[in-house]
Amino acid sequence: MRKMEPGSQRVLFAATAAAALAAACGGGGHGGGGISQEDQAALVAQGQQIFRFETFGDEAQWSDKLRMHEVVGTAVSPEAALAVGLKVDAQALPAAVVQGIQDGSIDLKSPATTIALLKLDAVVGLKGTVQTVGGKDALTRLGVTCALCHSTVDNSFAPGIGKRLDGWPNRDLNPGAIIALSPALDAARKAVYLSWGKGKYDPRFNIDGKSKPVVIPPAYGLEGIHSVTFTGDGPDIAYWNRYVAVTQMGGQGSFSDARLNLSITNGTTDLVSGKLPALQAYQLSLKAPPAPAGSFDSAAAVRGRAVFEGAGRCASCHSGTLFTDANIMLHPPGDSMAEPEVPSYAARSATGLYRTSPLRGAWQHAPYFHDGSAATLEDVASTYNTRLSLGLSPQQISDLAQYLKAQ
C-alpha cells in the first residue's frame, strides 16, 4: 500500500463525499454535476488513483482462475514484459533503481526484477501483491487496472519506460499474448488469444465465444460525448467502465444489460459501483493530445479542411466541435468502412450499430477503423474515397490526411 502523504486524508474524505454525491445524482453524468470546483478536483484526483491502481478485486480472475501470478513471478522478465507491450512508469522508480538500470547492475532479464518493479507499483496497469517467502520476495497475487490498456508512457527514459500518458491507448500492448501465458487455458483457447495481435482486444469473446478483436480505443477527449464506445452501447463512460470491470477484468460486482441477454455477478461484495463516479470524472478530465509541432503540413491542412467540409463529405457525420454526431444518432453497419466483416462486431453489441468516432487526437492512435484495417490517415481518406465513390484526387486525399493529422 502506498504511504498516505500529509493532507491526503482530507483529499480522500472530500473525494469520497463528492463520489457519494455524484452517485446519488446518478453517478454517470458528464461534467461536474453541480458540485464545487474543490470537490470536483478531489473527485478527479481519486479517479486518477482508481484508473491507475484499482483492480476492483479482479485478482480473483487473474490469480485464482488464470494463475497469472505464477507465470509472471517465475518466468516473465522486464525484457519479456516490454516485448509484449507492458510499460514502466519511470516516475515510480527510486534513484537507485534508475542508476541500476542505466549502469546495467539491475538485471532486466530476471523475473525477480519484474517482481521488484511490481512492488514499486511501476508496471503500468498491473497491481501485484509481493510477500516474503523463504527469505525472498515472491509475487503472490496479481490484478490488472484500467491503465493496462488505456495508458502508455512517453519513452523518455528508454523504449517502454517513461512518464505515464493516461488515456492514450497502448497500441503496443498484446493482451492476447499476455492472457495466453496462463497455465489454466487449453491450447485451443490460447490459439485464439494469440491470433489477436498487438493493440487489439475482443471484449465480447468471453461472452459469445466469437473472435473479432478491435483496436484498443483512446480514453481521452470524451467530455461531452455520450456514446463513448465503437457501438455506443451505453449513455456514458460509467456504463462501459462497469462492463469492462466486471465482465472483462473480473472485478467483484455486477453488470446487467437485457439487450445483451447478459447478467453477471462476481463475488458477494460490490467493489465496482462506488468507484465509477470518480473514475468517470478522471477520464472526462483527460484532453485529447494536440498534434506535435511540425508533424503535419499546415498549408495542406488548410486545403484539407475544405475537402473535409466539402467534397469529402466528412463533416456530415464528423460534425461540430466534437467531430462526431454520436450524441444524436448511431449508424447502421453498412456505414462502417470495416464492414462487412465476419463476425460483425456491431452485431455482437447491444445496439447493433456504430457511432461516428470523434477525431480529436486522431494523429496519435493509428491504426484506424474499429478493426485497425487502415494503417494511416492517408489510408483512411483513400478508403472513404473508394467506398463512397467521392472522386477525390490524390492531392485532395493527401490534403485531407494532413487536416486529420492536425486534429
What pLDDT, in 10s, does the model give residues 41-50? 999 999 999 9
What pLDDT, in 10s, does the model give residues 133-189? 999 999 999 999 999 999 999 999 999 999 999 999 999 999 999 999 999 999 999
Q: Is the pLDDT of residue 25 over 50?
A: no
Q: Is the pLDDT of residue 88 over 80?
A: yes
Q: What is the reported pLDDT for 33?
A: 54
Q: Is the pLDDT of residue 61 over 90?
A: yes
Which ranges in 161-250 belong to alpha helices (H)?
175-179, 187-194, 205-208, 237-243
Residue 348 carries which DSSP code? G
pTM: 0.90
Residue 83: CA atoms inside 13 Å, Cβ hemisphere, count?
A: 8
pLDDT band at 10 (very low <50, low <70, confident <90, very high): very low
* Distance (Å) of CA 54 to CA 42, 59, 127: 17, 11, 8
Does domain 298-405 fall into CATH 3.90.1150.10?
A: no
User: Do 13 and 43 meet the contact criterion of CB atoms below 8 Å apart?
Assistant: no
Burial of 140 (0-12, 13-18, 19+ CB in 10 A): middle
What pLDDT, in 10s, does the model give residues 226-276? 999 999 999 999 999 999 999 999 999 999 999 999 999 999 999 999 999
Q: What is the reported pLDDT for 35?
A: 84
The share of the chain scoring above pLDDT 90, in percent, equals 91
Q: How far is C-alpha 374 from the chain's CA centre?
A: 19
Q: What is the reported pLDDT for 14?
A: 41
C-alpha cell read off for 368: 484506424
* Rounded distance between C-alpha atoms, residue 381 and residue 402, angstroms: 10
E strand or H helix that includes residue 144: strand 136-144
Q: Which of 259, 218, 264, 262 is nearest to 346 (CA)?
A: 259
What pLDDT, in 10s, does the model give residues 356-396? 999 999 999 999 999 999 999 999 999 999 999 999 999 99
Q: What is the reported pLDDT for 185?
A: 98
In single-letter form, the type of residue at position 87 comes to K
Residues in the chain: 407
68-75 vs 111-119: helix axis angle to the nearest 10?
120
Q: What is the reported pLDDT for 17?
A: 41
What pLDDT, in 10s, does the model give residues 309-323? 999 999 999 999 999
| Domain ranges for the chain | 59-285, 298-405
